[in-house]
Structures are given as structure tokens and as C-alpha cells.
A and B are shown apart, each in its own frame.
Chain A
Amino acid sequence: MKRAAIRWFVAIVGVCIAMDTIPRERFPVPGFQDWLHRQLDRLGLSQGSWPLFAPNPVLNNGLVVAEVTDRKGDSATWSSIDWAQADPWVKFIRFRHMNYLQRLPRNSIAAGDFADYLLRAIPEREKATPSVRWSVENEMLPPVELDAPMREVRLYHYRDSMVLGEGVAGVDAPLPPQSQTVWSTQIGFLARRPREP
């Protein structure tokens, strides 16, 4: 009796894992796979397909940047960690932050909440760099400290993309070495949060 139960259990779990893990585009009935995934999700047992660096590696290089205005109208800029400059230890202990910032630009609900958080957290918990100001005589003025609470936060994604050659006569251009890789930055708007009265 006990053996029979184990046989059934292993067979069912094994088949469910296999079906849930097959890449969606290769599964004959994607609708059934979606249904199965939802049922496994309910149990906390979903696996899903495994697209690590697949079908192609996805570059998430970039920054999340917030433009902040305080209650007097002075502005400042908050910026996420620049992972390209961070050392491996920081990347290890702040790994969750890296995951979060990679996914934030693709999730409008989370982006809105993050802007809300910055509205509450700057300047006490999150540091923002006050913007440079100019006088009427075109002289640089020293930045002023932000005066809480913040009046508005605008959130942007600065995404770095590689500029690759087109190639000639159907032959792909050779990929450039690291030192000669050219990057271009695209700025995408994520969310705006004014302080509610």
C-alpha cells in the first residue's frame, strides 16, 4: 500500500515537473501547460521553463534614476548602484537589489510603488545628489540640501545598449573587443509620483 502510494506520488510529481519545465514554445499544448503551472503555483511547487541566458543572453546594463523635487522646488537626483563599477562582494550581498532593479523597468506596478517609496525615503533613508544651480549671471551656485517632504518623484530607466556594426554583403561584422565596445543610452520613463496633499 505504502509502496503503491509512493509510486503514484513520484510518477505524478515527475510528470508535472517535466511538463512544467519544457520550454513553452516546444510544448504541444501551451494552454494546458499554463493551467498546470497555475495549479503547481497554488501548491508552491511550480518550476517553469529554465531560460537562463536563453534563447539568447539578455543585457540588462543600465541604471534606475529618479529626479526628485523637494517641497521648496529644489531638485536632486537619486541613482541606483552602478553595477559595472561595483566589486564582487557588493554584487554578492546586494544581489537581491540587482535582481530587483533588472526587473523594475518591466513592471509598472512595482515601478509606481518604488517611486512612492522614494517619495517617503528621500533624504533620510535614501541619498539624492542635489542638482547644480546657476545664477542669473550664469555662475554655478552651491547645491542646497533637500527639504523634506519631497514634492514629486519621476522615475527613469537609463538602459545601455551595445552599438554593433551592420556587416557587409550578408557577412556579420566582427564583434568588437571589450575596450572598443560602444554603448548608447536610452532613457525610458517609468513612473511619476506627486505627493498627495
Chain B
Amino acid sequence: MKAFDRFLFESGNAQILPVLRIGFAILILVQSLVLLPDVAYWFSDQGVLSTQSARRLAGSQKWSMFFLVEGEAWLAYFGVISLFVHGLLLGLGVYSRVQLAAIFLWLVSFQHRMPLIHDGEDTVFRLFAFFLMFLPLDASYSLTGFLSGKPNEQVADEQLWGLRLIQIEMTAIYASTFLSKLAGETWQNGTALWFVSRMNDNYGRLIPSEWFDSHWISQIGSYGTLAIEAFLPIGLWIPRLRWIAIMLGLALHLGIELSMNLFLFEWVMILGLLSFVPSLKPRTVATRRQTVVQE
């Protein structure tokens, strides 16, 4: 129990909170701006999927604000504009928990109303919105703090347990994708990235697909991806390996970002990786001695 308490209440990094808050808010703003021109197209009965069909696809267990009103375009516009406003207020640090609750509500509503346009990254967005609610995000670099005369309020380690939820989520994703890929023939023989480079829809940014014509580049890329995804779920939790794991994770996601068009997926994953960044506070001689005694 003591170890679990140390894990939850004594080892968080409060310095990363404003980075997570502002980073997540920027991604929400980009999302809502990209959705705005197509709001009626995706989320109303004037568009490509009727509310009735959306209900059939969602089944009985999924809910959405859009199931309350029959296919009206105004609700879709209201939803996307709300998402933008909540994202903006989150970025400014105005009652962040309230903004995140609203963002979560709208993200679930959009995703259940139109499942065909959403993918894994949207799942990560939705869950991050939920997990971030449990963190004191307004403590620093926030308008709320500035107006109340406490621009950089001290956050106790005890309040940072919400970071663990994000970290567990990230670990589960890397472990899941690694286990899924293990069964794939192309990952086993090192040709997976050759096939990825032939995805004409998603592929095509700065790294030309011709690079993967070379069998050894394809093999290094495929086996390298597998190795990093196998290492991350372990390395991210071992303090001595954590920075290496974070850097490898960053390299993996930036590599994908440079070669593929996956919208905001890489950026939300990088945000998740940042939740593992250890505290950069210089440790005093006294705390160092204490640590040695404890060890």
C-alpha cells in the first residue's frame, strides 16, 4: 500500500501541468477550426449521415447530444463553436476542470454522432479530456491564478495522481500496438514500412516513399518501430531509462509526422509522452542525502 501511495501521491511533476493544459487546448482549437466548415456536412441531417442512421450505428449504449435533437444543423454549429470556446478558455486557464468537462461532453457527442470520421487519435483526445479533469491545471500560468493574485500557486505532489491515469493510458496504447503487430507477417519480415509507404491516402510528406524501396531501410524502420514500441511500456516507468524512452518515443512520433498525414495524432501522443517528464527541480543536498538513506 505504501508503494502504491508513493506511486500516486509523491512522485508527480507539477511543472508539466501548464504544458499539458496549453498543448491540449491548442490541439482542441485546431480540431474545432478544421471541423467548422464541414459542421452541417458531418453532424446534421443535411449532411452525409442522418441522425436515424447514426443512432443505428451507435447502438443503444452510446450517447450523444446530437441524439437529443433531430438532425438540426444549428446544434452542430453550436457544438463546434462551444468546443472552440472551451478550448480557448482552457488554454487561458479559466476554470480548466469545467472546460475539460464540456470538451469531454462534446467530443463524445461528435464521435458517437459520426463514427466514420473519427479514429484512434480521437479516442486519445476524449480520454485525455477526462483524465486532465483530475489535475489542478489552473495552478500556474493561468488567467484564474493571475486574477486571484496567485500566478504560480504551489501544487502538492498529492494532487498530481491524475497524471498516472494519462501515463497508464499511454502505456496501454504502446503495449497494445506492439502485441498486435507481433502477429503481423509484414512486421515479422521487415516489410511493414514498405507497405505503409504505399498508402497513397495517408502517406506523403517530407520523407519520400521511394526511400523504402531499399529493403534495408524498410527493415530498419519496421524492426526499429517494433523495438521502440516494445521498449516504451517498460522504459517509461523506469526512472533511469525514462528520458531515453521519452526521446525514442518523440523520435518515433516525429518520424511518422514527417512522413504521414495523420492529422493531430502524433501531437496528442507527444503530449501524452510529456506526462512522463520527471521534475526538473534541482535537488538539494539534503533531499539527495534523504534519498540515499531511503535507498
- A residues neighboring B (CB under 8 Å): 3, 6-7, 10, 13-14, 17-18, 21-23, 25-26, 38-39, 41-42, 44-57, 59-61, 83-84, 88, 91-93, 95-100, 102-104, 107, 109-110, 112-114, 116-117, 160, 162, 172, 174-175, 177-179, 181
Contact = CB atoms under 8 A, between A and B. Distances in A.
A95 B187 contact: no
Contact of B192 (A53, A92, A95, A177): A53
A56 to B, nearest CB: 4
Given A46-B123, A83-B202, A110-B57, 19 more contacts: A6-B8, A10-B161, A21-B173, A26-B179, A47-B127, A48-B123, A54-B181, A57-B186, A57-B196, A60-B201, A61-B201, A83-B200, A84-B201, A91-B202, A91-B204, A107-B116, A109-B57, A112-B53, A113-B48
Contacts of B194: 175
Contacts of B168: 10, 13-14, 17-18
B179 A113 contact: no
- 9 A-B pairs with least C-beta separation: A55-B184, A54-B180, A84-B200, A44-B108, A83-B201, A177-B213, A91-B261, A21-B172, A50-B176
B215 A175 contact: yes
Interface in B107-143: 107-108, 112, 116-120, 123, 126-127, 130
B161 A54 contact: no
Contacts of A100: 48, 116-117
* B57, B202, B204, B213: residue with the most chain A Cβ atoms closer than 10 Å: B202
Interface string B188-204: 01011011111111101
Given A3-B9, A50-B120, A55-B180, A17 B198 contact: no
Contacts of A177: 210, 213
B185 interface: yes
B57 A38 contact: no
A119 to B, nearest CB: 12
A99 B116 contact: yes
B184 A54 contact: yes
A57 B189 CA distance: 13
A112 B205 CA distance: 33
Given A56-B185, A162-B198, A49 B126 contact: no
A22 B174 CA distance: 10
Contacts of B24: none
B48 A45 contact: no
A95 B198 CA distance: 18
- Among A44, A49, A110, A162, residue most surrounded by chain B Cβ atoms (within 10 Å): A44
B35 interface: yes
A184 B34 CA distance: 34
Interface in B235-287: 261-263
B161 to A, nearest CB: 6
B177 A54 contact: yes
B260 to A, nearest CB: 9
9 contacts: A21-B173, A22-B179, A23-B183, A41-B62, A83-B200, A107-B116, A109-B56, A110-B53, A160-B200
B187 A23 contact: no
A48 B127 CA distance: 12
B16 interface: no
A50 B116 CA distance: 17
